[in-house]
Amino acid sequence: MNALLSVVYLVATITFIVGLKMLGHPATAKKGNYVAASGMGIAILGTLLLHGLVVPTMIYILIGLAILVGGSIGALMAVKVKMTKMPELVSLFNGFGGASAALIGLVAFGSQLADATQATTVISGIVIGALTFSGSIIAWGKLDGTFKSVVNIPKRNLINNLLLLGIVVFAGYMVLSGQQQPMFIYLLLGASLLYGVLFVLPIGGADMPVVISLLNSLTGIAAAITGVLYSNMVMLVGGILVGSAGIILTIAMCRAMNRTLLAVVFGSFGGGETVEGEDRAAGSITKTNAGDAAILMNYAKNVIIVPGYGLAVAQAQHVIHELEELLTKRGVDVKYAIHPVAGRMPGHMNVLLAESNVDYDLLVEMEDINPHFSNTDVVLVVGANDVVNPAAHNDPSSPIYGMPILDVEKAKHIIVNKRSMNPGYAGIENELFYNAKTAMLFGDAKAALTELVAELKNM
């Protein structure tokens, strides 16, 4: 590698790190994306123009066409995607990254591998890339509703563990024996793709944020392996950044759910359906309307808003921001309570509210907001379910028992906006809905909040 290309890669690496740092705050996240993307553009141009190899003109034309087509598709997807579909898009991006790593490994395997180290690198990239691709596609299908939230496979853990062990043993045999028959590598590829499918199929929808984060981490690892294969420092560093960040985020979310990563991987929590014959929570519900809810909030000193996936589905983030501004002008102290796994992907609620220009300082994490619920006049829950379910504290038999939740039940008054009494993604009843302090405001979040804003304006 010539000195100028090394400098280009160093600059690109610095932009990745700076961009990642800027992504940590909504106020700088957009700029951070541009910084990191610019760094990748610099790395690509540097690789194409400064590699020092003799390359036929036709190859440059094909590369240019690939960049044009891929960039156009990516830009179109990013512009057209709705916020409700952002988790699915993230899953697809994870999958494409894994597929790229697997394809690069297959190309490298087609040439003569110099030694066992190179063979290990290539085969690892193929295995990790393939299972990341197929697993991400299944995750996309679950989030999109194409596949069932949970597919119960008899003796799934035994089957998956035996398949994984077989993949590791067979890969080890190929490395040690120097076996480079195409049939063998395609067999390994197929087994890895199958494992990715079987790995994600039994995992419930409530665990999807963790799964997406884990698959994202694996994509980074696959990219880092590819960087090792081609001695490309920018791919190596970029992959390490994605992989390490994904692992840290995965562990953080598991802690937020009071679950181990093994419990997520080998469990099926979050089926999205109630168990037949399950006892419904005792008690009756209290219904309210927009007018009564507006009166309650208008005379409150402080209000906490708890956003959930239902807010994203209804595309009601702009209306809830209008509600927040209206209350603030009337002297009401308004905050947003953010649970780490609210929504369908890591940081989903933060991204959703940032889109409507909600002040980031109003977003308060679970650990910081929980002590304030007991002194809060009104809590408005919009589309959230499992992350506010008191069963996590009160019912040892509940699948979410022990999971840290937002302590909404401690507030003086609670308004819950939902379409219906259907359970959340975890498939269990919510005790909060039957609380004597809770009033249910039924209806589509956007329509209900719009009516609530109109009632407030008339006061």
175-184 tens-digit pLDDT: 888 877 889 9
Do the domain assignments include residue 281?
no
Q: Which residue has the higher pLDDT, 251 or 129?
A: 129
Are residue 51 and residue 99 in the same domain, yes or no?
no
Distance of alpha carbon 225 from alpha carbon 236, whole angstroms: 7
Out of 133-142, 275-284, 315-324, 446-455, pick the least confident: 275-284
User: Rounded to an integer, what distance in angstroms lies between the CA atom of residue 67 and that of residue 182?
Assistant: 29
Separation CA 104–CA 122 (nearest Å): 8
Residue by residue, DSSP assigns 348-360 as HHHHHHHHTT--G
Note the maximum CA span of the chain.
80
Answer yes or no: do 74 and 192 share one domain: no
Burial (0-12, 13-18, 19+ Cβ within 10 Å), 331? exposed
Domain boundary (241, 271, 301) is at 271
Q: Residue 284: inside a domain, yes or no?
A: no
Q: For residue 278, tell me if it sits in a domain.
A: no
> How far apart (Å, rounded) are the C-alpha atoms in residues 110 and 260?
40
* CA–CA dist 453, 87 (Å, integer): 29
Tell me which of 147-156, 299-308, 321-330, 406-415 is least confident. 147-156
Q: Per the domain annotation, does 277 fall within a domain?
A: no
What DSSP line would sit under 75-130, residue for residue?
HHHHHH--GGGHHHHHHHHHHHHHHHHHHHHHHHHHSPP-SHHHHHHHHHHHHHHH
The Cβ of residue 193 has, within 10 Å, a number of other Cβ atoms equal to 19
| The pLDDT of residue 352 | 83
Q: Could you give the number of structural domains in the chain?
A: 3
Asked if residue 278 has pLDDT above 60, the reply is no
Is the per-residue pLDDT at 424 higher than 70?
Answer: no
What are 98's two structure tokens?
Answer: 């894994």
Q: For residue 212, give the nearest of 240, 254, 245, 250 by alpha carbon.
A: 250
Two tokens, residue 127 = 């295995």
Is the predicted pLDDT of residue 194 greater than 90, yes or no? yes
pLDDT at 347 over 80: no
Residues 118 and 255 in one domain: yes
Q: Does 386 participate in catalysis according to the annotation?
A: yes
Last residue of a domain, one of 49, 80, 111: 80
User: Distance between CA 263 and CA 298 in Å, rounded?
Assistant: 44
User: 433: which DSSP letter?
Assistant: G
Per-residue model confidence (pLDDT) at position 272: 44
* Mean pLDDT computed over 7-25: 90
Higher pLDDT, 431 or 205: 431
pLDDT tens profile 70-125: 989 988 988 888 766 778 888 888 899 999 999 998 988 877 666 788 888 999 99
Are residues 347 and 225 part of one domain?
no
pLDDT of 150 reads 62
* 1, 100: one domain: no
pLDDT over 90, % of the chain = 43
- 229-246 pLDDT tens trace: 888 888 898 899 989 988
| CATH for 350 | 3.40.50.1220
Other CB atoms within 10 A of residue 69 CB: 10
Q: What's the token pair of residue 256?
A: 């937020």
Q: What is the pLDDT of residues 32-65, one digit of tens each?
A: 999 999 999 999 999 888 887 788 889 889 999 9
pLDDT band at 132 (very low <50, low <70, confident <90, very high): very high
Which segments of 330-439 does DSSP mark as H helices, in order? Answer: 348-355, 366-369, 391-394
Q: Which amino acid is at 29?
A: A
Catalytic entry in 144, 333, 377, 386: 386
Alpha helix ranges (H) inside 384-458? 391-394, 445-457
- The length of the chain in residues reads 459
The DSSP bridge pattern shows strands 378-382 and 302-307 to be parallel
Residue 283 lies in a domain: no
Contact present, 64 and 70 (Cβ < 8 Å):
no
Summarised one tens digit per residue, pLDDT across range 354-410 is 888 888 889 999 999 999 999 999 999 998 888 899 988 888 887 778 888 999 999
**Assigned domain for 279 exists:** no
Domain residues for 294?
A: 290-457
With the C-alpha atoms ordered 416, 419, 424, 428, is the resulting torsion angle positive or negative?
A: positive
Residues 305 and 161 in one domain: no
Same structural domain, 91 and 210? yes
Q: Are 443 and 342 within one domain?
A: yes
d(CA 380, CA 441): 10
- pTM of this prediction? 0.76
**Residue 216 phi, psi (nearest 5):** -60, -40
The span from the CA of 443 to the CA of 420, in Å, is: 7
Q: Same structural domain for residues 89 and 76?
A: no
Clarify whether residues 140 and 36 are in a common domain. Answer: no
Residues 255 and 163 grouped into a single domain = yes
Three-class SS state of 380: strand
280 lies in some domain: no
Do 266 and 164 form a contact (C-beta atoms < 8 A)? no
Select from 271, 302, 328 the last residue of a domain.
271
Of the candidates 390, 456, 387, 385, which has an alpha carbon nearest to the alpha carbon of residue 419?
385
91 and 194 housed in the same domain: yes
- Give the SS3 label for residue 183: helix
Residue 285 lies in a domain: no
Higher pLDDT, residue 418 or 422: 418
